[in-house]
Structure 1
Amino acid sequence: MPVSHVLTARIEASLDELMAELSGALAAVVATSDGFEVASRSRSDIAVGKLAAMACSISAVGVMAGQEGGIGIGQSVIVEAPGGFSIIIEIAHPQSPMVLNLLTNRSEALGQVLFRAKRAAHILAQA
């Protein structure tokens, strides 16, 4: 099911807020559950379309890892790299399930990034 214009506007506002709150944020993208970009923000020439597709694939692996490991369905995946973090979070919207991928450099504390990403995903799930 396509994402409504109203929901897309809410997503864009949430991405603007994330980018404003996190000075070390490099990019933020929300994708449909099948990997298509809904909205994105970037401070550089990062290929957000590719990030959208990868986020959905990685999220699916996280879901299955939790389920197969007996700890429940995975809700997020954290990728740590030398240059920063990629936080991938499920957005459990009832009509339009989506995924948020938030990329930051190492100037941001991982706990703060995770908190803000989870807050945004929760708000969008209820939008």
Structure 2
Amino acid sequence: MNESVVFSVLSRKFIDHNEATPPKAQQVIYYSLAIGHHLGVIDCLSAALTCNLADYRAWIATLADGSEARRKMEGVPRYGEIVIDHSHVTMLARAFDSALAAQTDEQQAWSHAMLGWLAAIQQESAVYIMVRRQYD
């Protein structure tokens, strides 16, 4: 069995409109959106990058040993998935940028993709990345 790692990025959100939902319940959904809760909201994630688990491990091994960024990224093989949100942007961006010089061309391409996603999160805090281990 092969294992891979899939990076999925929030591509859009939509409200699950049910014709049977009374107007007062719809008001609760809209209010929850306004205050940042996800009641009745469906996140649509799009797979943006897939790599072999062994290649993923080699890539994150280029991050500074013992760093918070490396510990965060090691959560994928350890726990099966991680979420990267606005609270991780600065830490991960610095780590991946610093690691570029020690990376292969393929790893650099992945790091540049990661830096692009992190920039998108910086611009819109509702955007996030779900990174999951997948069994093929």
Shorter-chain TM-score above 0.5: no
TM score, norm. by length of structure 1: 0.31
TM score, norm. by length of structure 2: 0.29
Which structure ranks higher in relative contact order (CA pairs < 8 Å, sequence separation ≥ 6)?
2
Task: Give the greater-gyration-radius structure (CA).
Answer: 2
